[in-house]
A and B are shown apart, each in its own frame.
Chain A
Amino acid sequence: MSAGTALAGFADPVLDSQAAFRAVLEAMSRPGRIQRLPVPPELPPGIGPAAAAVLLALADADTPIRLAAGAEAQAWIRFHTGARAAPAAEAAFVLDSDAGLLDLDPGTEEEPERGATLILEVESLSEGSGWRLSGPGIQATHRLAVAGVRDGFLADWAASRARFPRGVDVILCAGDRIAALPRGIAIEEG
């Protein structure tokens, strides 16, 4: 038994999964608005509370995962969800801050829903300043300040967005909070 399997998942797997999903759904429907997730009581090293909650709620044996957090986190996710490890280019969920948006599976023109979901852990998220987001889900524009994304993210984002309907959806995580960037959203630097 590896160490990861000794740690608990959600305290209430049914209702916590539902609440976490609803927060992700709200985040994806209203890009840039910050949502709070129920978090598991224990975490393996290398994975933040919100990122862990997203995976516990949504991953399973049908969703290969690329996890940069190490063997213990991998074993923990595997134990609680059944999801197996995969290279970034083949994964449905990617939690790897080194993974480039353009290196992940964007789906196909006919099956864009196969595009990956990138879960990015960042230093902080706040609304009201920073990036200007616009697109479906946003009435006019929405401001979101994100600290700790890698250089070149916005250039990659613009290139990824140009492939719509193919593309990668991003969930930004900081602590127990998330904000989502569905693939079609336009981002302007603030």
Chain B
Amino acid sequence: MTHDPGYNFAYLDESTKRMIRRAILKAVAIPGHQVPFGSREMPLPYGWGTGGIQVTASVLGPRDVLKVIDQGSDDTTNAVSIRAFFRRTAGVATTERTAEATIIQTRHRIPERRLTEGQILVYQVPIPEPLARLEPRIAETRRLHAMADYGLMHVKLYEDIAKHGHIATSYSYPVMVNERYLMSPSPIPAFDNPKMHMMPALQLFGAGREKRIYAVPPYTAVRSLDFEDHPFRPIRAPHRCELCGSGDTYLDEVLVDDKGGRIFVCSDTDHCQERQAMREAAE
């Protein structure tokens, strides 16, 4: 495949890619630290993955195979549009199969299938600063990161326990990277947090509006914050997937009629289809 000659390869101009590439390399060298970058205006609105798409555009090469998911699904508008964007501007192959992809751009999920060394996971990040809701001053949050002073976040989790009896954070659950930087995992469900720990794949995070890039290198410790007497627990709906029968994947609740009928199905559509195919083959 070739790319649309009206665009530079992968849309961004070369000097922008160069600047983003340098930011990515420093982000990898300082795991969990947010590196500022000169985020460009992209042909999609903020909140639709402008950060992720700039990271993907800077990393992507002609031999890559790209997968894009939105909340685990390959066939939502955001995922379909971003795949089409890179097919046109970079001429790369795209796939819906997690196992075949070399780069996976994601909004709000980590695929169920264990990722491998040959893969890069690119997260779309709305709010990169884990302390944003606790401390609105950016100058102050930078100082707190410099001093690794994360007492504010522990107090917040403690208040959760005091009010609700448990930590009532079910997504964007804060993590410590390599026991140094507090990091927002982006709004993935807390269920996905354990997958980040010692993942063989490289994890890159891009926040377009907030102009930050950060990273977790492969095989890096990622620990969800908790307390000895209130250990971290990944939460999932206590049901089986209606389509594939899985009892250990993250589920979406789907309303099926206007009488309150509902089913639970896997959020990761590729994984679900793979399991359905295996089940059919076995029958």
Contacts and interface: CB of A to CB of B under 8 A. Distances in A.
Given A14-B9, A25-B59, A136-B219, A109 B25 contact: no
Interface string B192-226: 00000010001000000000000011111100000
B145 interface: yes
Nearest to A142: B219
Contacts of B198: 139
Interface string B134-159: 00000000110111000000000000
B28 A18 contact: no
Interface residues of B, number: 43
Nearest to A12: B9
Nearest to B139: A110
A57 B198 CA distance: 29
A30 interface: yes
Contact of B22 (A19, A58, A165, A184): A58
Interface residues of A, number: 38
Contacts of A63: 22
Interface stretch (B13-21, B161-169, B261-269): B13-21
A110 B27 contact: no
Interface in B6-53: 8-9, 14-15, 17-19, 21-31, 33, 35-36
Contacts, number: 106
A28 B216 CA distance: 11
Given A17-B14, A109-B147, A28 B21 contact: no
Nearest to B215: A29
Given A18-B61, A136-B220, A115 B26 contact: yes
Interface of A: 13-15, 17-19, 21-22, 24-25, 28-30, 57-60, 62-63, 92, 108-110, 112-113, 115, 117, 135-139, 164-165, 169, 182-184
In the A-B complex, the 5 residue pairs with the smallest Cβ-Cβ separation, listed nearest first, are A182-B29, A109-B146, A113-B26, A137-B217, A136-B220
Interface of B: 8-9, 14-15, 17-19, 21-31, 33, 35-36, 58-62, 117, 142-143, 145-147, 178, 180-181, 198, 202, 216-221
Given A63-B22, A110-B145, A164-B180, 20 more contacts: A14-B8, A14-B9, A15-B61, A19-B61, A22-B61, A24-B25, A25-B25, A29-B28, A29-B218, A30-B117, A30-B218, A58-B22, A58-B25, A60-B15, A60-B19, A113-B26, A137-B217, A137-B218, A182-B28, A184-B30
